Amino acid sequence: MESETIAAISTPIGEGAIAIVRLSGVDALDIAQKIFQGKNLLEVTSHTIHYGKIVDPSTNELVEEVMVTVMRAPRTFTREDVVEINCHGGLASVNRLLELVLVNGARLAEPGEFTKRAFLNGRIDLSQAEAVMDLIRAKTDKAMGVALKQMDGRLSKLIQQLRQTLIETVAHVEVNIDYPEYDDVEEMTNALLIEKSQVVFQEIDRLLQMAKQGKILREGLATAIIGRPNVGKSSLLNALVHENKAIVTDIPGTTRDVIEEYVNVRGVPLRLVDTAGIRDTEDIVEKIGVERSRQVLKESDLILLVLNYGEEISEEDKKLLKAVEDLEVIVIVNKTDLKQRIDLNQLHELAPEHTIITTALIEDKGIDELELAIADTFFEGEIDAGDLTYISNVRHIQLLKQAKQALTDAIDAIEAGMPIDLVQIDVTRTWQLLGEIVGDTVHESLIDQLFSQFCLGK
């Protein structure tokens, strides 16, 4: 129940300098005061922090030495009374403290319940709540910037403006339907309805055009590194990550599994996958890795196909080029420190649509050119996280697509001469779909599902 006071550990589990147990609810101060020796927390000024000790009231046993922050409603994240107890980091210490808080009246919070209360109490809307998790999961500064803008309400304000335009349009329609005899009521002509619908349609379309880039910033660009064995795939992974994450040897087939790593390439988060060399093999373990590599290929947003500068283009290389010809591919010709044997003219004929980069990874040559090519491919070289409203959430994207279709249906109906009250149904449907983004028209079951994906303590 909402009146219950909830508590959870709000810092990562494990050893650290400090751990925090957070309480929120009407009894947060009372529960904290029961176990705290120091100043009277019921009398201190809001938004202050106090040194003291945690004592088990049932045994009078000293439990911890802490700093307690007191924040009174409504100037808190949840708009409820909030207490944060800072103790020494460590599993035993923080778990003992949480246990004591629960024994003295609090309930263990569900995943995302603090943020859910902030939403239910009107401090943030649903899109801002989802941005909290985006911020936590951000892999780059750019992704963090997009999440911060969404938390600040940039998307919310835009969606509300579009909804306001639609509701005013619907209101004009209803007036004309209900009171057609009044000459002084502005007539909602088909032309005006189309004009208003197209204004909203164009803005939704612009948001959807930015959705691919926003989704990349939020989730990372699924990037597969492929090529014949021993062409330098693992060296490429290490060069991008700047660490020795993969085994690098001269023995073909060394990489027998799929290795994943997140890297920041000029603001673009890449979820790099270093795959086993794709080739025919009798080795059972290696064969499993090869099959997984083929599956990764199908699910990737970007393919980095590595070839050997010191070898002629083989039949295996041609098969790989054929397999990825319809995908987003950057061809990397590695080992330019060796004597050239590859025919670059032939390569351009085999891959006319693909960007081709030459590298000598052993000498750290060509990495800058590769990173620039990746940024150019998906962001035309620049990522503007300051002025643009990026849509990155899959739920938002689907709702916008549905809203766009509803407006398309409305405009088509007008042009087909359908009655104005039938057109109004599609316009109202668009208004409702946009409302689901910010939580104005969303079902309670969806709210529960969304917040269940949050981490405990947030």
Task: Give the lowest-confidence range in 136-150, 186-200, 350-364.
Answer: 136-150
**For residue 254, what pLDDT band results from cuts at 50, 70 and 90?**
very low
Q: Among the ranges 66-75, 222-231, 237-246, 428-437, which has the highest mean pLDDT value?
A: 66-75
DSSP annotation of 365 reads B
| Rounded average pLDDT over 373-391 | 63
Per-residue pLDDT tens for 401-415? 999 999 999 989 888
Residue 447 lies in a domain: no
Is the pLDDT at 242 greater than 70, yes or no?
A: no
SS3 string, 287-308, reads HHHHHHHHHHHHHCCEEEEEEE
If asked whether residues 366 and 322 sit together in one domain, one would say: yes
N-terminal to C-terminal alpha carbon distance within the chain = 18
Helices 126-137 and 420-438: crossing angle in degrees, nearest 10, is 40
70 touches 44 (CB < 8 A) = yes
Residue 117 lies in a domain: no
Per-residue pLDDT tens for 75-108? 999 999 999 999 998 888 899 999 999 999 999 9
pLDDT at residue 122, as a whole number: 87
Task: Please count the residues of the chain.
Answer: 458
User: 3-class SS at 3?
Assistant: coil
- What tokens does 156 get? 């919310």
CATH code, 327 = 3.40.50.300
Distance between CA atoms of 297 and 35, rounded to whole angstroms?
56
Per-residue pLDDT tens for 256-307? 344 556 777 777 778 776 554 444 444 444 444 455 556 667 778 888 899 9
Domain interval for residue 87 = 6-109
| Rounded average pLDDT over 362-385 | 75
**For residue 141, what pLDDT band results from cuts at 50, 70 and 90?**
low
Residue 399 lies in a domain: yes
Residue 177 lies in a domain: yes
If asked whether residues 192 and 293 sit together in one domain, one would say: no
**For residue 63, what pLDDT band results from cuts at 50, 70 and 90?**
very high
Distance between CA atoms of 240 and 332, rounded to whole angstroms?
13
| Rounded average pLDDT over 432-444 | 81
Dihedral of alpha carbons 360, 364, 369, 375, sign? positive
If asked whether residues 225 and 160 sit together in one domain, one would say: no
pLDDT at residue 243, as a whole number: 52
- For the chain, what is the radius of gyration of the CA atoms? 29
pLDDT at residue 325, as a whole number: 81
Residue 215 lies in a domain: no
Residue 453 lies in a domain: no
Is the pLDDT at 317 greater than 90, yes or no?
A: no
pLDDT at residue 253, as a whole number: 39
Per-residue pLDDT tens for 330-349? 999 999 988 999 999 998 98
If asked whether residues 252 and 371 sit together in one domain, one would say: yes
Biggest CA pair distance of the chain: 88
**% of the chain with per-residue pLDDT over 90:** 31
If asked whether residues 224 and 185 sit together in one domain, one would say: no
Is the pLDDT at 152 greater than 80, yes or no?
A: no
Domain total in the chain = 3
Averaged pLDDT of the chain: 80
Residue 457 lies in a domain: no
If asked whether residues 412 and 284 sit together in one domain, one would say: no
**% of the chain with per-residue pLDDT over 70:** 76
pLDDT at residue 249, as a whole number: 35
304 dihedral zone (left: phi>0; alpha: psi -120 to 50; beta): beta
10 touches 84 (CB < 8 A) = yes
pLDDT at residue 255, as a whole number: 38
pLDDT at residue 289, as a whole number: 44
Distance between CA atoms of 233 and 305, rounded to whole angstroms?
8
If asked whether residues 206 and 264 sit together in one domain, one would say: no
CATH code, 430 = 1.20.120.430
If asked whether residues 230 and 206 sit together in one domain, one would say: no
If asked whether residues 157 and 260 sit together in one domain, one would say: no
CATH code, 96 = 3.30.1360.120
pLDDT at residue 294, as a whole number: 61
pLDDT at residue 279, as a whole number: 47
DSSP annotation of 80 reads S
| Rounded average pLDDT over 47-66 | 95
| Rounded average pLDDT over 436-456 | 70
pLDDT at residue 385, as a whole number: 47
| Rounded average pLDDT over 238-262 | 50
Residue 318 lies in a domain: yes
Question: Around Cβ 343, how many Cβ atoms within 10 Å?
Answer: 12
If asked whether residues 182 and 276 sit together in one domain, one would say: no
**For residue 227, what pLDDT band results from cuts at 50, 70 and 90?**
confident
In which order are the strands placed within the sheet that holds 259-265? Answer: 259-265, 268-274, 221-226, 302-308, 329-334, 355-358
